[in-house]
Amino acid sequence: MSAENTSNQEKSSILIIYTGGTIGMVEDPKTGSLEPFDFEHLVDHVPELKEAKHLYTSIQFNPPLDSSQIGPQDWAKMAKTVADNYDTYDGFVILHGTDTMAYTASALSFMLENLNKPVIITGSQLPIGRFRTDGKENLITAIEIAASKRNNIAIVPEVCICFQNYLLRGNRSKKINADYFQAFDSFNYPPLAHIGVEIDINEELVYKQASVKPLIPHYNMDPNVIALRLLPGITPDTLKGILSIPNLKGIAMETFGVGNAPSFPWFIDLLKEATDRGIVIVNVTQCMEGSVAMNIYDTGNAMLEAGIISGYDITTESAITKMMYLFGEGYEPDKVREYMKCDLIGEMTIHDTKEN
Ligand code: ASP
C-alpha cells in the first residue's frame, strides 16, 4: 500500500507536536554549538508545508528541548497533547531529537492505551536549515504517513518512528547510528514501511487493536528503574551497590547472548535476594538482534530460579519504559512480572512458554 496514493484521495488533519531536537536547531553565532529553536523557523525552511494537501496545526514545547533532557514528565505532556486533541485530528507527528527518540516512542506506545490513530515520531541528523538536511524529507514523509487513511480509517494506527528509509514500530526501534542519515533500525521486527520513491506500507505488519475503544491515556511513569549492562569481571561490590539503590523497583539486566550471565553463587544469591525483596529483574540481551532463551544454559536456569524473568526479544528501551508504565500504574511486583511476560502492544515476541 502506498501512503501517497491513499492520502491523495482523502484530506487529513494533522497535529504536529514540536518538542525540539536537531531538526529545529540553529547554530549559536558565538559558540558555534547547536541550540533548539522555534517551530516557525523550522516551517520557513519547508515551504512545501504551506502548500501541503493536508491541513496541519502545530503545538510546540516551550522551550524546545534537546532530547537528552526529555523524561517521563515530557512523555506525559506529549501523551496529554495527543489525548486532548485526539478527536480533532486524524494523525499526530511528533518532532523530537534522535538521541532518546526510541525511549519516547516506546513510552508512548504504553501510555496511549487503545491508540487507533497514527503517532509518527521523526527528527533529523542535520538541522532543517542546513543545505543537506534530512529533516525536510523526514518531516514530509511523517506527515504523509500520519495522514494516510482508507475509508476514514487510519492505515498505521500505532506509535512509530519514521526515519530516512524506514517506518518502524516505535517500541521495537533503536538508535543505531550517530552519523548516518539511516539512524534507526528495528532488529527484531521488520519495518512497517519502506520509504523510497513510494511509501510502501506492509499492512500485515501493522498493529491492529482487537476492537475500536476510547483512548485511555496514562500519565504516571515511575522513574525508579534502571538498565544494568553486565560486564565480564563484575564484582560483588558493584552488584551490591546497584541492588541497594534506594527505591529501586525494576532492572532491565542486559546479559550476554541468549541471556547468559555469570553463574557464581554470589551473583545468583544477590539477584535472588533482590527479587525476594520485590525488585523486578528482566533479562534482556546485549545483542542487537535475537531473543533471550533462558532454558538453554545452566546459568539461565539458575537465573529463572532466582526469580528473574525473560524479556525475550524486547529492547532495553521498551523494557525500561514498560516497567516505568507498570509501576506508574501502581502494580505490585508480582503483577509487574506477570505483565512483563506478556506482549502488551507488539513490543516483544514470546517464543517459548517454558520460561513463563
Ligand atoms: N542532541 C539531539 C537530540 O537528541 C540530537 C538529534 O536530534 O539528532 O535532541
The Cα–Cα gap between 286 and 265 comes to 22
From 65, 67, 184, the mutation candidate for ligand 1 (largest count of ligand atoms within 8 A of CB) is: 67
Question: Which residue, by CA, sits nearest to atom 1 of ligand 1?
Answer: 66
Ligand 1 atom nearest to 22, measured from its CA: 7
The Cα–Cα gap between 156 and 147 comes to 9
Ligand 1 centroid to Cα of residue 128, in Å, is 12
Question: Which residue, by CA, sits nearest to atom 3 of ligand 1?
Answer: 97
* CATH fold label, 225-355: Rossmann fold (3.40.50)
Question: Which residue, by CA, sits nearest to atom 8 of ligand 1?
Answer: 98
Please give the grid coordinates belonging to residue 300. 539461565
Q: Which residues of the chain carry a pLDDT beneath 50?
A: 4-8
- The count of other CB atoms within 10 Å of the CB of residue 171 is 32
Please say whether the structural domain 13-217 has been given the CATH code 3.40.50.1170.
Answer: yes
Q: Where along the chain do the CATH 3.40.50.1170 domains lie?
A: 13-217
From the number of C-beta atoms within 10 Å of its C-beta (0-12, 13-18, 19+), residue 165 rates as middle
Q: How many Å from the N-terminal Cα to the C-terminal Cα in the chain? A: 37
> CB under 8 Å to 52, separation ≥6 — which residues?
143
Protein residues whose CB sits closer than 6 Å to any atom of ligand 1: 21-22, 66-68, 97-99, 123, 125
pLDDT the model gives residue 51:
74
pLDDT the model gives residue 352:
64
Ligand 1 centroid to Cα of residue 155, in Å, is 28
> CB under 8 Å to 204, separation ≥6 — which residues?
none
Catalytic (active-site) positions: 22
172, 118 contact by CB (below 8 A): no
From the number of C-beta atoms within 10 Å of its C-beta (0-12, 13-18, 19+), residue 150 rates as middle
Could you write out the DSSP letters of every residue in 159-224?
EEEEETTEEEEGGG-EE--SSSS--EE-TTS--SEEESSSEEE-GGGS---SS----EE-------
Angle between helices 236-243 and 265-276 (to 10 degrees): 10
The Cα–Cα gap between 346 and 333 comes to 22
Give 53-101 pLDDT, tens digit per residue: 888 899 999 999 999 999 999 999 999 999 999 999 999 999 999 999 9
Ligand 1 centroid to Cα of residue 265, in Å, is 42
pLDDT the model gives residue 356:
52
From the number of C-beta atoms within 10 Å of its C-beta (0-12, 13-18, 19+), residue 301 rates as middle
The Cα–Cα gap between 18 and 122 comes to 10
pLDDT the model gives residue 274:
98
Give 259-308 pLDDT, tens digit per residue: 999 999 999 999 999 999 999 999 999 999 999 999 888 888 899 999 99
Q: Where along the chain do the CATH 3.40.50.40 domains lie?
A: 225-355
Ligand 1 centroid to Cα of residue 60, in Å, is 16
From 42, 68, 133, 176, the mutation candidate for ligand 1 (largest count of ligand atoms within 8 A of CB) is: 68
